[in-house]
A and B are shown apart, each in its own frame.
Chain A
Amino acid sequence: MKSMHISTTINGDPVEFICDPGEPLLDVLRNRLGLTGAKEGCGTGDCGACSVTVNGRLVCSCLVLGAEVEGVEISTIEGMANDDQLHPLQRAFIDGAAFQCGVCTPGILVAAKALLEKNASPSDEEVRFWLAGNLCRCTGYDKIIAAVQVAAAEMRGA
């Protein structure tokens, strides 16, 4: 089948690309656009390492087709910091040692940001259930939950 030509917006920038009709958005981001912050941990929507938002909705980019994103707004980890200012979640993750290898971190940050946009004051339980689709094998999640709460408190105060 012929490649498709797609126009979309990623992290506020206008972007055009061509892709195969069956090509996952994750592969487009990583292999065609050089946005390698989203990771492929499974390719089946089980690990959350490829999390991005499409029109504000949290998705696994391995389960979205590149062909589906015509005219939408996509946010990835590369767009989370505001120019040279890290997002409070990013700072909290560094300050709180909330990652070890860091490969799940982009997905977890994108997912946590989506949570705090819906719920500014989540309980620990709510954070744990929201992030249940993001696998981390290094940390045991403890410091991740704590860091999300630190960032949430800071964002409420701001």
Chain B
Amino acid sequence: MDTGQSKREFRYVGTRPNRPDGVDKVTGRAQYGADMTAPGMLTGAILRSPHAHARIISIDTTAAEAIAGVRAVITGKDFVRLDDEFTRDVQENCMAREAALYDGHAVAAVAATTPVIAKAALAAIKVEYETLPHVTDVDAAMKIDAPVVLAGRALETVPAGMSQNVTNACEFGHGDLDAGFAKADLVIERSFKTAATHQGYIEPHACLASVTTDGKADLWCCTQGQFFVRTLCSDIMGMEASQLRVTASEIGGGFGGKTTVFIEPVALALSRKSGRPVKIVMTRDEVFRATGPTVSSSMDIRIGMTKDGRITAGEATLRYSGGAYPCGTVEMGAQAAFAAYDLEAVRTYGLNALTNRPKEAAYRAPGAPQAIYAVESIVDELCQKLSLDPLAVRLQNAAKKGTLSSYGPTFNDIGLVATLEAATNHPHYNAPLGPNQGRGLSCGFWFNFGGNTCVSLNINTDGTVGVTEGNPDIGGSRASISLMAAEELGIPYESIRTIIADTNSLGYNDVTDGSRVTFSVGLATIKAARDAIGKMTSRAAQYWGIDADAVKWVDGSAVPAGSNAGKFPPLTLAEIAAMSPQTGGPIAGHHEVNVDGAGVSFGVHLVDVEVDPETGFTKVLRYTVFQDAGKAVQPDYVEGQMQGGAVQGIGWALNEEYIYGEDGRLQNPGFLDYRIPVSSDLPNIETVILEIPNPGHPYGVRGVGETPIVPPLAAIANAVSRATGVRLTELPMSPPRILKAMKG
């Protein structure tokens, strides 16, 4: 560990400057996915299956093609069947081939001169379906006689004798469970269910594709990762990566849901066929029916505790469904379930089952909120039954540096104890409660990722700096990247402009996911700045006629390293930049890396609720988030992640769910019936940032974006339980469900 980190004094990092894209975003200038146009552009539109599961017998597009103004019609047959299963699943999710696997699955698409003509063309396409039995519930899908969604997709890890819908299986843990449970004074075992929820970004998916007759293509789209879009689309379209330039628009929210493609290959195929640019913008109905939701889950949890609060063993079986295609998200749930605890005996099992639902897309800490909700509910119930303080019990059992984690690695410096202590000492924890009110808490955890990252940093001749990075800015990251460049170079934040490159302007960057951007792009920016500094000190050395290693960089200037190096006045970055044409040409720094060392992140949420005994309605009264950020680079946006994640979790806990009818169709594909939290539902979300430096980053930064969605589910469930005296085991805790539980 670099023990000097916590003592480091920062000049720019940790301040709260305005974001560089601020004015664009308050004036309507910022260009999102649907805001781009091209000369000669056509409108693309997609026909979707009205059936939960159906074989496509035939598709007759002749009447649609005959409509004046229709320039292209495509079906699954317009795409080559790919050998690689992962990419084939992505392609077939964008456009079905033999069968429609869920309500809303795309089966055909048109490009026409106006939206009205496109809509008429969709209505003129005749699809003959043979409807098949369907299954939308994870437990039903695992039964041996359940309708099979896709056959032959089980991985080798899946035990024999299970339903063909079971595709993924995993197991994690260590220690002797039987011995552990034998030491417990109380063992509680319960089953839980959570509904699938949607990321709910306000901007629907949108793209503009333009393919030329010589095989070049440009694609503009709202995405969390333009490079991954290029990989997927070039594979699906049979193109070389160099010929497909993908530009990421400003992105109107993603939360993981924009880490893959849905409409982009369709727009490219329509553009290739019509020879014209094609724009596709999803409706909200399409967003709900055909993109992103989380897994739905069904879980069995067993935990043992001694009378004095020591957890002796924990066991979890997680059954997740990631919809109609194989999905490994359960592996992350199984790893995260008990991550907050230092346990002698722990075992988690995970299974994924196919259902006739949309293909799962990542949603903020994918897989963790469900599992940790179930574990944290039982820990709370054990505390209630043993009359123990729930924060003290968590502190007593908390994972810390040196703990063998429940999923394998041994933890390095982590902030769980610090966040728990901060919660214990916060006035919220001991504030008085009124009738029908309860206080709940939960720990949360996320791994955080690093990954492939590439940054260029150009020193302009006027002494300003341009940073080019490759990750869409989803919540203010351009500000944090500029701050880290300013810190390293020693020039003002305002002298730096950070932009996000298209796929032809920079090397490959992994998707904006895994809370990786401020951590990984920040690390690469710091190293790129150091590369540029090395070049600038060389130029100064050359100018002074001394050795390059006799020059060092201090507060934005090159200075002689010591008295032996000679006596020269400092050369500022601006001075070195201005004379760069005479000293060897332009100066730029680069760094390319597959980043390791992302520090795991822990948080603790504390919530007070009041449950109306007449209606079962839960009002959130007070909410406080405690989280370790490693180092908060721009604290406004760290707080914003903590607040936004908490509120998404509140929605998950209380309101949000995918509701399927007996017919297997989604019944609430709109914001009226799929109700995300609105401002009048909520109190202020208080935040407490802890800073336990991550040894894997030069400034100690950890990812902060995902952890905050993890604790709210159990924190609210525990608060509701303490307010009502009954334990709910299914999310969302909608008023009817709470009322039913209260009436026993």
Contact = CB atoms under 8 A, between A and B. Distances in A.
Given A103-B252, A103-B253, A143-B643, A132 B28 contact: no
B56 interface: no
Interface string B404-442: 000000000000000000000000000000000000000
Contacts of A133: 678
A41 B645 CA distance: 20
A86 to B, nearest CB: 7
B680 A132 contact: yes
A67 to B, nearest CB: 15
A132 B27 contact: no
A144 B201 CA distance: 17
How many A residues are at the interface, by size bracket?
35 or more
A30 B89 CA distance: 34
B25 A142 contact: no
A140 to B, nearest CB: 4
A95 B18 contact: yes
Interface string A99-113: 111111110010000
A86 B284 contact: no
B613 interface: no
Contacts of B645: 140
Given A100-B474, A140-B644, A47 B29 contact: no
B68 interface: no
Interface string A121-146: 00011011101111111111111110
Given A39-B252, A97-B637, A101-B475, A140 B646 contact: yes
B622 interface: no
Interface SS majority for chain A: loop
Given A103-B252, A128-B680, A97 B640 contact: yes
Interface residues of B, number: 59
B506 to A, nearest CB: 22
B28 A138 contact: no
B584 to A, nearest CB: 40
Interface in A9-56: 20, 27, 30, 35-44, 46-47, 49
B202 interface: yes
A90 interface: yes
Interface in A38-88: 38-44, 46-47, 49, 76-78, 80-81, 86
Nearest to A136: B202
B682 interface: yes
Interface in B7-58: 16, 18-19, 21-32, 34-35
A153 interface: no
Contact of B671 (A47, A81, A139): A47
A139 B203 contact: no
A94 interface: yes
Contacts of A96: 636
Contacts of B639: 97, 143
A37 B28 contact: yes
A137 B651 CA distance: 10
B672 interface: yes
A101 B201 CA distance: 9
Contacts of B100: none
A74 to B, nearest CB: 14
B1 interface: no
Contacts of A81: 27
Given A99-B25, A137-B644, A41 B204 contact: yes
A144 B26 CA distance: 12
Contacts of B281: 40
A50 to B, nearest CB: 11
A142 B26 contact: no
A142 B643 CA distance: 7
A64 to B, nearest CB: 18
Interface in B618-664: 636-637, 639-640, 643-648
B253 A44 contact: no
A100 B135 CA distance: 38
Given A43-B284, A46-B670, A90 B679 contact: no
A21 to B, nearest CB: 11
A145 B28 contact: no
B616 interface: no
B640 A101 contact: no
B622 to A, nearest CB: 13
A137 B201 contact: yes
Contact of B476 (A100, A140, A145): A100
Nearest to B477: A100
B486 interface: no
Contact of A140 (B24, B253, B682): B682
B116 interface: yes
A20 B116 contact: yes
A49 B203 CA distance: 9
Interface string B578-622: 000000000000000000000000000000000000000000000
B684 interface: yes
Nearest to B200: A137
B32 A141 contact: no
Contacts of A99: 25-26
B284 A42 contact: yes
A141 B253 contact: no
B637 A134 contact: no
Contacts of A27: 115
Nearest to A45: B672
A102 B640 CA distance: 13
A94 B251 contact: no
B353 interface: no
B379 interface: no
A141 B682 contact: yes
Contact of B685 (A46, A86, A135, A142): A142
A40 B34 contact: yes
Contacts of A76: 28
Contacts of A104: 202, 252
B125 to A, nearest CB: 22
B290 interface: no
A13 B679 CA distance: 34
Contacts of A144: 679
Given A128-B679, A140-B647, A94 B18 contact: yes
A8 B21 CA distance: 31
Contacts of A103: 32, 201-203, 250, 252-253
B23 A140 contact: no
A136 B643 CA distance: 12
B637 to A, nearest CB: 6
13 contacts: A27-B115, A41-B284, A44-B670, A44-B672, A46-B284, A100-B253, A101-B474, A102-B25, A103-B203, A103-B250, A103-B252, A136-B679, A138-B475
Given A36-B32, A86-B23, A140-B682, 15 more contacts: A36-B28, A44-B670, A46-B670, A94-B26, A99-B26, A100-B253, A100-B474, A100-B637, A101-B202, A102-B21, A102-B26, A103-B202, A140-B643, A140-B644, A143-B636
Please list the 3 inter-chain residue pairs (A to B) with the smallest Cβ-Cβ separation, ordered nearest first: A37-B28, A103-B252, A102-B25
